[in-house]
Structure 1
Amino acid sequence: MDENIKETSSIGVVKISDEVVSVVAGLAADEIEGIEGMNSGITSGISQILGGKKNPSKGVKVTVTEDNASIDLYVVVRYGVKIPEVCEKVQKNVMKTVETITGLKVSTVNIYVQNVVIYKSESKENTEQREN
Protein backbone atom coordinates (compact mmCIF):
# COMPACT_ATOMS: atom_id res chain seq x y z
CA MET A 1 0.00 0.00 0.00
CA ASP A 2 1.48 3.31 -1.09
CA GLU A 3 1.50 6.04 1.48
CA ASN A 4 1.94 9.65 0.57
CA ILE A 5 3.38 12.31 2.82
CA LYS A 6 0.73 14.95 3.25
CA GLU A 7 2.06 17.28 5.87
CA THR A 8 5.14 17.57 8.01
CA SER A 9 5.14 19.70 11.13
CA SER A 10 7.00 19.97 14.40
CA ILE A 11 4.54 17.44 15.85
CA GLY A 12 5.02 14.74 13.20
CA VAL A 13 4.08 13.51 9.74
CA VAL A 14 0.60 12.85 8.32
CA LYS A 15 0.39 10.13 5.67
CA ILE A 16 -2.65 9.36 3.53
CA SER A 17 -2.65 6.11 1.57
CA ASP A 18 -3.98 5.74 -1.97
CA GLU A 19 -6.54 3.29 -0.57
CA VAL A 20 -8.03 6.02 1.65
CA VAL A 21 -8.36 8.36 -1.33
CA SER A 22 -10.00 5.51 -3.31
CA VAL A 23 -12.57 4.87 -0.57
CA VAL A 24 -13.41 8.58 -0.27
CA ALA A 25 -13.77 8.91 -4.07
CA GLY A 26 -15.93 5.77 -4.30
CA LEU A 27 -18.27 6.92 -1.55
CA ALA A 28 -18.55 10.41 -3.10
CA ALA A 29 -19.45 8.92 -6.49
CA ASP A 30 -22.02 6.62 -4.94
CA GLU A 31 -23.85 9.63 -3.43
CA ILE A 32 -24.97 10.82 -6.88
CA GLU A 33 -28.45 9.87 -8.10
CA GLY A 34 -28.19 7.67 -11.19
CA ILE A 35 -25.01 5.86 -10.15
CA GLU A 36 -25.87 2.25 -9.41
CA GLY A 37 -22.40 1.18 -8.37
CA MET A 38 -18.83 0.79 -9.38
CA ASN A 39 -17.37 -1.81 -11.71
CA SER A 40 -13.87 -3.19 -11.52
CA GLY A 41 -14.32 -6.53 -13.19
CA ILE A 42 -15.71 -10.00 -12.66
CA THR A 43 -13.33 -11.09 -9.89
CA SER A 44 -14.30 -8.33 -7.49
CA GLY A 45 -17.98 -9.04 -8.15
CA ILE A 46 -17.49 -12.69 -7.22
CA SER A 47 -15.53 -11.83 -4.09
CA GLN A 48 -18.26 -9.37 -3.04
CA ILE A 49 -20.91 -12.08 -3.47
CA LEU A 50 -18.88 -14.64 -1.52
CA GLY A 51 -17.65 -12.20 1.13
CA GLY A 52 -20.88 -10.25 1.44
CA LYS A 53 -19.00 -6.98 1.91
CA LYS A 54 -19.22 -3.95 -0.35
CA ASN A 55 -15.84 -2.44 -1.11
CA PRO A 56 -16.16 1.36 -1.58
CA SER A 57 -12.85 1.54 -3.43
CA LYS A 58 -13.94 -1.03 -6.03
CA GLY A 59 -13.85 0.54 -9.48
CA VAL A 60 -11.61 3.40 -8.39
CA LYS A 61 -8.02 3.94 -9.49
CA VAL A 62 -6.06 6.73 -7.81
CA THR A 63 -2.68 8.11 -8.79
CA VAL A 64 -1.20 10.46 -6.20
CA THR A 65 1.94 12.53 -6.75
CA GLU A 66 3.06 14.93 -4.01
CA ASP A 67 -0.12 16.94 -3.22
CA ASN A 68 -1.91 16.11 -6.47
CA ALA A 69 -4.35 13.29 -7.29
CA SER A 70 -5.74 11.88 -10.51
CA ILE A 71 -8.82 9.66 -10.12
CA ASP A 72 -10.34 7.15 -12.55
CA LEU A 73 -13.84 5.86 -11.78
CA TYR A 74 -15.45 2.87 -13.50
CA VAL A 75 -19.19 3.28 -12.93
CA VAL A 76 -22.51 1.60 -13.62
CA VAL A 77 -25.44 3.92 -14.34
CA ARG A 78 -29.20 3.42 -14.18
CA TYR A 79 -31.08 3.20 -17.47
CA GLY A 80 -32.91 6.40 -18.34
CA VAL A 81 -30.56 8.92 -16.77
CA LYS A 82 -28.71 11.53 -18.82
CA ILE A 83 -25.24 10.03 -18.64
CA PRO A 84 -23.23 13.23 -19.34
CA GLU A 85 -25.12 15.11 -16.60
CA VAL A 86 -24.70 12.31 -14.04
CA CYS A 87 -20.99 12.02 -14.85
CA GLU A 88 -20.47 15.76 -14.46
CA LYS A 89 -22.16 15.66 -11.03
CA VAL A 90 -19.91 12.72 -10.06
CA GLN A 91 -16.79 14.57 -11.18
CA LYS A 92 -17.68 17.69 -9.19
CA ASN A 93 -18.70 15.75 -6.04
CA VAL A 94 -15.63 13.50 -6.08
CA MET A 95 -13.28 16.44 -6.61
CA LYS A 96 -14.89 18.53 -3.85
CA THR A 97 -15.10 15.64 -1.35
CA VAL A 98 -11.55 14.34 -1.87
CA GLU A 99 -10.07 17.83 -1.68
CA THR A 100 -12.07 18.65 1.46
CA ILE A 101 -11.36 15.43 3.34
CA THR A 102 -7.75 14.77 2.33
CA GLY A 103 -6.42 18.21 1.46
CA LEU A 104 -5.03 16.84 -1.81
CA LYS A 105 -5.50 18.84 -5.01
CA VAL A 106 -7.48 16.73 -7.51
CA SER A 107 -6.25 17.45 -11.04
CA THR A 108 -8.59 15.11 -12.95
CA VAL A 109 -11.59 12.87 -12.34
CA ASN A 110 -12.06 10.55 -15.32
CA ILE A 111 -15.36 8.66 -15.57
CA TYR A 112 -15.65 5.41 -17.53
CA VAL A 113 -19.25 4.19 -17.87
CA GLN A 114 -18.94 0.39 -17.89
CA ASN A 115 -22.57 -0.72 -17.78
CA VAL A 116 -26.22 0.34 -17.66
CA VAL A 117 -28.65 -1.30 -15.23
CA ILE A 118 -32.27 -1.89 -16.19
CA TYR A 119 -34.61 -2.94 -13.42
CA LYS A 120 -37.43 -5.35 -14.24
CA SER A 121 -40.14 -3.08 -12.83
CA GLU A 122 -38.88 -0.15 -14.94
CA SER A 123 -38.73 -2.21 -18.12
CA LYS A 124 -42.31 -3.45 -17.56
CA GLU A 125 -43.54 0.11 -16.99
CA ASN A 126 -41.80 1.30 -20.16
CA THR A 127 -43.34 -1.56 -22.17
CA GLU A 128 -46.81 -0.79 -20.79
CA GLN A 129 -46.44 2.91 -21.62
CA ARG A 130 -45.38 2.12 -25.21
CA GLU A 131 -48.37 -0.20 -25.67
CA ASN A 132 -50.85 2.51 -24.61
Structure 2
Amino acid sequence: MAKILDRLLLFVYSLSIAILSVLAILLLTDTVPFSLSSLEEDKGLFIATIVVSAILFLISIRFFYISIRRDRRSLTSIDQRTEYGDIQISTETIENLSYKAASRVRGIREVKTRIRITEAGLDIMVRAMVDGDSSIPALTEEVQKQVHDHVEEITGIPVSYVSVYIANLVQSPVMKSRVE
Protein backbone atom coordinates (compact mmCIF):
# COMPACT_ATOMS: atom_id res chain seq x y z
CA MET A 1 0.00 0.00 0.00
CA ALA A 2 2.81 2.42 0.85
CA LYS A 3 4.49 1.69 -2.49
CA ILE A 4 1.32 2.62 -4.38
CA LEU A 5 0.95 5.83 -2.38
CA ASP A 6 4.59 6.74 -3.02
CA ARG A 7 4.16 6.18 -6.74
CA LEU A 8 1.00 8.28 -6.77
CA LEU A 9 2.69 11.14 -4.92
CA LEU A 10 5.70 10.93 -7.22
CA PHE A 11 3.40 11.02 -10.24
CA VAL A 12 1.52 14.10 -8.98
CA TYR A 13 4.76 15.84 -8.01
CA SER A 14 6.45 15.19 -11.35
CA LEU A 15 3.39 16.27 -13.28
CA SER A 16 3.05 19.53 -11.33
CA ILE A 17 6.77 20.36 -11.64
CA ALA A 18 6.64 19.60 -15.36
CA ILE A 19 3.68 21.93 -15.85
CA LEU A 20 5.29 24.71 -13.80
CA SER A 21 8.63 24.44 -15.59
CA VAL A 22 7.02 24.42 -19.05
CA LEU A 23 4.96 27.44 -18.05
CA ALA A 24 8.10 29.22 -16.82
CA ILE A 25 9.95 28.44 -20.04
CA LEU A 26 7.03 29.69 -22.15
CA LEU A 27 6.80 32.89 -20.14
CA LEU A 28 10.54 33.54 -20.24
CA THR A 29 10.89 32.96 -23.98
CA ASP A 30 7.95 35.29 -24.76
CA THR A 31 5.96 32.47 -26.37
CA VAL A 32 3.10 33.48 -24.10
CA PRO A 33 2.75 37.27 -23.87
CA PHE A 34 3.29 38.41 -20.30
CA SER A 35 5.31 41.29 -18.92
CA LEU A 36 8.33 40.35 -16.84
CA SER A 37 10.10 43.70 -16.97
CA SER A 38 12.34 43.17 -13.93
CA LEU A 39 13.52 39.82 -15.26
CA GLU A 40 14.12 41.15 -18.77
CA GLU A 41 16.43 43.90 -17.45
CA ASP A 42 18.79 41.47 -15.72
CA LYS A 43 20.06 39.04 -18.41
CA GLY A 44 21.96 36.83 -15.89
CA LEU A 45 18.85 36.25 -13.82
CA PHE A 46 16.87 35.64 -17.01
CA ILE A 47 19.29 32.95 -18.25
CA ALA A 48 19.55 31.34 -14.79
CA THR A 49 15.76 31.13 -14.56
CA ILE A 50 15.53 29.43 -17.96
CA VAL A 51 18.30 26.96 -17.05
CA VAL A 52 16.70 26.11 -13.68
CA SER A 53 13.30 25.66 -15.37
CA ALA A 54 14.82 23.35 -18.00
CA ILE A 55 16.62 21.29 -15.33
CA LEU A 56 13.42 20.98 -13.28
CA PHE A 57 11.59 19.91 -16.41
CA LEU A 58 14.15 17.15 -17.12
CA ILE A 59 14.04 15.96 -13.49
CA SER A 60 10.25 15.85 -13.60
CA ILE A 61 10.36 13.73 -16.75
CA ARG A 62 12.65 11.28 -14.94
CA PHE A 63 10.35 11.20 -11.89
CA PHE A 64 7.35 10.74 -14.14
CA TYR A 65 9.03 7.74 -15.78
CA ILE A 66 9.90 6.22 -12.38
CA SER A 67 6.32 6.67 -11.17
CA ILE A 68 4.76 4.79 -14.08
CA ARG A 69 7.30 2.05 -14.77
CA ARG A 70 6.77 -1.43 -13.43
CA ASP A 71 9.08 -2.90 -10.82
CA ARG A 72 10.94 -5.56 -12.83
CA ARG A 73 12.74 -7.10 -9.85
CA SER A 74 9.53 -8.31 -8.23
CA LEU A 75 8.31 -9.85 -11.50
CA THR A 76 11.17 -12.30 -12.03
CA SER A 77 10.25 -15.93 -12.00
CA ILE A 78 11.39 -19.26 -13.30
CA ASP A 79 9.08 -20.82 -15.85
CA GLN A 80 8.73 -24.56 -16.33
CA ARG A 81 6.53 -26.51 -18.70
CA THR A 82 5.01 -29.84 -17.73
CA GLU A 83 2.66 -32.14 -19.60
CA TYR A 84 -0.24 -30.54 -17.70
CA GLY A 85 0.68 -26.89 -18.23
CA ASP A 86 3.03 -24.10 -17.23
CA ILE A 87 4.53 -23.48 -13.78
CA GLN A 88 6.00 -20.20 -12.61
CA ILE A 89 8.01 -20.00 -9.39
CA SER A 90 9.04 -16.54 -8.23
CA THR A 91 12.60 -15.88 -7.19
CA GLU A 92 11.20 -14.61 -3.89
CA THR A 93 9.81 -18.10 -3.25
CA ILE A 94 13.20 -19.66 -3.93
CA GLU A 95 14.90 -17.10 -1.67
CA ASN A 96 12.49 -18.03 1.12
CA LEU A 97 13.14 -21.76 0.58
CA SER A 98 16.89 -21.07 0.77
CA TYR A 99 16.40 -19.02 3.92
CA LYS A 100 14.39 -21.80 5.53
CA ALA A 101 16.99 -24.46 4.69
CA ALA A 102 19.95 -22.34 5.89
CA SER A 103 18.18 -21.33 9.11
CA ARG A 104 17.71 -24.99 10.07
CA VAL A 105 21.47 -25.52 10.40
CA ARG A 106 22.50 -25.37 14.06
CA GLY A 107 24.91 -22.50 14.71
CA ILE A 108 23.69 -20.28 11.84
CA ARG A 109 22.03 -16.96 12.67
CA GLU A 110 20.63 -13.96 10.77
CA VAL A 111 20.39 -15.45 7.28
CA LYS A 112 19.89 -13.48 4.07
CA THR A 113 19.69 -15.06 0.62
CA ARG A 114 19.91 -13.92 -3.00
CA ILE A 115 19.10 -15.85 -6.16
CA ARG A 116 20.65 -15.45 -9.61
CA ILE A 117 19.29 -17.38 -12.57
CA THR A 118 21.94 -18.76 -14.95
CA GLU A 119 21.98 -21.16 -17.88
CA ALA A 120 23.36 -23.94 -15.65
CA GLY A 121 20.68 -23.47 -12.99
CA LEU A 122 20.33 -21.36 -9.89
CA ASP A 123 23.17 -19.57 -8.16
CA ILE A 124 22.24 -19.07 -4.52
CA MET A 125 24.15 -16.67 -2.30
CA VAL A 126 23.68 -17.06 1.44
CA ARG A 127 24.87 -14.41 3.90
CA ALA A 128 24.79 -15.44 7.54
CA MET A 129 26.21 -14.92 10.97
CA VAL A 130 27.44 -17.78 13.13
CA ASP A 131 27.33 -18.30 16.87
CA GLY A 132 31.09 -19.01 17.07
CA ASP A 133 30.73 -22.32 18.88
CA SER A 134 31.04 -24.53 15.80
CA SER A 135 33.59 -25.00 13.03
CA ILE A 136 32.92 -22.45 10.29
CA PRO A 137 34.02 -24.75 7.41
CA ALA A 138 31.72 -27.50 8.69
CA LEU A 139 28.84 -25.04 9.11
CA THR A 140 29.22 -23.56 5.62
CA GLU A 141 29.44 -27.00 4.03
CA GLU A 142 26.28 -28.06 5.87
CA VAL A 143 24.49 -24.86 4.77
CA GLN A 144 25.51 -25.47 1.15
CA LYS A 145 24.27 -29.05 1.25
CA GLN A 146 20.99 -28.20 3.00
CA VAL A 147 20.17 -25.29 0.69
CA HIS A 148 21.14 -27.20 -2.45
CA ASP A 149 19.14 -30.30 -1.58
CA HIS A 150 16.10 -28.47 -0.20
CA VAL A 151 15.68 -26.10 -3.16
CA GLU A 152 16.18 -28.85 -5.74
CA GLU A 153 13.80 -31.21 -3.93
CA ILE A 154 11.00 -28.66 -3.47
CA THR A 155 11.20 -26.81 -6.82
CA GLY A 156 12.70 -29.38 -9.17
CA ILE A 157 15.01 -26.67 -10.50
CA PRO A 158 18.71 -27.57 -10.67
CA VAL A 159 20.97 -25.61 -8.31
CA SER A 160 24.37 -25.06 -9.89
CA TYR A 161 26.13 -23.18 -7.12
CA VAL A 162 25.61 -22.26 -3.46
CA SER A 163 27.98 -19.71 -1.98
CA VAL A 164 28.03 -18.91 1.72
CA TYR A 165 29.39 -15.69 3.15
CA ILE A 166 29.91 -15.58 6.91
CA ALA A 167 29.52 -11.93 7.85
CA ASN A 168 30.35 -12.04 11.55
CA LEU A 169 29.87 -13.77 14.86
CA VAL A 170 26.74 -13.22 16.85
CA GLN A 171 27.57 -11.98 20.31
CA SER A 172 25.42 -13.69 22.88
CA PRO A 173 24.54 -11.58 25.91
CA VAL A 174 26.75 -12.19 28.92
CA MET A 175 24.84 -12.99 32.06
CA LYS A 176 26.55 -12.07 35.31
CA SER A 177 25.80 -14.35 38.19
CA ARG A 178 24.84 -12.88 41.49
CA VAL A 179 26.79 -13.95 44.50
CA GLU A 180 25.09 -13.51 47.82
TM-score (normalised: structure 2): 0.53
Task: Please state if 1:76 is matched with 2:129.
Answer: yes
Q: Deviations over 1:78-106 (max 9, x none)?
A: 02211110000000000000000000111
Q: Deviations over 1:31-70 (max 9, x none)?
A: 00000122xxxxxxxxxxxxxxxxxxxx211012367111
User: Over aligned residue pairs, what C-alpha RMSD do you find?
Assistant: 1.9
What is the 5 A alignment of 1:82-93? 82-93=135-146
Task: Please state if 1:113 is matched with 2:166.
Answer: yes
Structure 2 regions of 5+ residues with no counterpart? 1-74
1: CA distance, partners of 2:99 / 2:170: 18
How many residue pairs are counted as aligned between the two chains? 103
Percent identical residues: 31
Amino acid at match of 1:61: R
Higher relative contact order (CA 8 A, sep 6+): 1
Task: Please state if 1:65 is matched with 2:118.
Answer: yes
Higher radius of gyration, 1 or 2: 2
Q: State the 4+ residue runs in structure 1 displaced beyond 3 angstroms.
A: none
Could you tell me which residue of structure 1 aligns to residue 103 of structure 2?
30
1: CA distance, partners of 2:148 / 2:122: 9
Could you tell me whether the CA contact under 8 Å between 1:21 and 1:98 is conserved in 2? yes
Amino acid at match of 1:83: I
Change over 3 Å in CA distance of 1:67–1:12 after alignment to 2: farther
Task: Please state if 1:6 is matched with 2:80.
Answer: yes
Could you tell me whether the CA contact under 8 Å between 2:120 and 2:160 is conserved in 1? no
Could you tell me whether the CA contact under 8 Å between 1:21 and 1:62 is conserved in 2? yes
Say which of 126, 135, 149 aligns to 1:96.
Answer: 149
Greater strand share, structure number: 1
2: CA distance, partners of 1:101 / 1:87: 21
Change over 3 Å in CA distance of 1:67–1:21 after alignment to 2: farther
Does the residue aligned with 1:104 lie in a helix, a strand or coil?
coil
TM-score (normalised: structure 1): 0.71
Give how far 1:118 is off. 2.0
Could you tell me whether the CA contact under 8 Å between 1:6 and 1:13 is conserved in 2? yes
2: CA distance, partners of 1:109 / 1:33: 18
2: CA distance, partners of 1:6 / 1:121: 50
Does the residue aligned with 1:120 lie in a helix, a strand or coil?
coil
Does the residue aligned with 1:71 lie in a helix, a strand or coil?
strand
